[in-house]
């Protein structure tokens, strides 16, 4: 498909092999876009895929180039406003414009109310909400200057629509914030033909939350792989379509929202969850 030819897409949080960002980047490239892939690290220090020869952003770059599109990898801490601004300047020097921004970078750090620290709260908000704002602000300013319109797509969560216990409060608060940011940006940027939407996946078997999983496994005297399998089976049993959200499911929705077929959709928060959540 060539519906994104001559477009440049910037995807944050793209270094993990099993993550949404990897799947989104390759899908948008297959649809014709040149891709800027961004992460805090070229290869995450926590990425277990390194043992399988995974090279983080470099591996994603190779996959994009294999489908015939240009790829550019850049590292940036999106919680630092000055780094985000400098990153956007570097991208513009390379590609001259950014047409699509996918705010995918996220953390999911757990903490029940009696144990949650300031640091856990701050990190969830800083990456998931403030980082999304910093990237959106920097890219939207350039979209307005270039007068080409554009698409901003935020990866939120079904936990941005319904609260959850079990130590998810900080993550939920950050993702609820992303939905409010999405609606407000959509209203402000409509004048410039910039559409802003959110994608809300349910639980996926990615590396997000691995550290918490390992901690919980130790507390239960289990292997983290056993606990993950237990949680996965519980989530599958609860899902009407009988499976977890796959990175490809999220990438498919992002590709649609990035295309001209979605030109009349803005300010929406679209569920990708197999029917697990059917409201809001």
Please give the positions annotated as active site.
Answer: 171
Helical residues (DSSP H) of 57-130, grouped into ranges: 57-66, 81-95, 118-124
**Which DSSP state fits 226?**
H
What are residue 272's DSSP bridge partners?
A: 201
| Residue reference for tokens 């079904």 | 158
In what helix (H) or strand (E) does residue 178 lie, and over which residues does it extend?
helix 169-189
Q: Which class for 168: exposed (0-12), middle (13-18), buried (19 or more C-beta within 10 A)?
A: buried
Separation between Cα atoms, residue 80 and residue 78, nearest integer Å? 5
């Amino acid at each position: 498909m060539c519906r994104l030819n001559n477009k440049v897409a910037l995807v944050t949080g793209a270094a993990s092999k099993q993550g949404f960002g990897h799947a989104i980047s390759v899908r948008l490239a297959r649809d014709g876009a040149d891709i800027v892939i961004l992460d805090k690290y070229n290869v995450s220090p926590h990425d277990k895929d390194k043992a399988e020869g995974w090279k983080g952003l470099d591996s994603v770059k190779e996959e994009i180039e294999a489908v015939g599109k240009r790829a550019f990898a850049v590292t940036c801490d999106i919680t630092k406003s000055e780094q985000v601004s400098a990153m956007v300047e570097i991208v513009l020097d390379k590609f001259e414009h950014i047409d699509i921004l996918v705010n995918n970078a996220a953390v999911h750090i757990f903490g029940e109310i009696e144990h949650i620290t300031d640091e856990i709260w701050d990190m969830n908000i800083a990456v998931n909400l403030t980082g999304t704002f910093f990237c959106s602000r920097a890219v939207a300013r350039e979209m307005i200057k270039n007068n080409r319109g554009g698409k901003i797509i935020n990866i939120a969560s079904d936990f941005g629509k319904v609260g959850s216990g079990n130590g998810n409060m900080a993550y939920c608060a950050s993702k609820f914030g992303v939905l409010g940011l999405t609606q407000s940006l959509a209203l402000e940027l409509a004048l410039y033909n910039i559409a802003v939407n959110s994608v809300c996946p349910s639980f996926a078997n990615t590396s997000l939350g691995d550290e918490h999983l390992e901690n919980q496994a130790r507390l239960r005297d289990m292997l983290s792989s056993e606990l993950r399998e237990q949680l996965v089976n519980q989530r599958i049993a609860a899902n009407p379509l009988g499976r977890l959200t796959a990175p490809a499911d999220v990438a498919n929705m992002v590709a649609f929202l990035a295309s001209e077929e979605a030109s009349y959709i803005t300010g929406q928060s679209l569920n990708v969850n197999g029917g697990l959540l059917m409201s809001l």
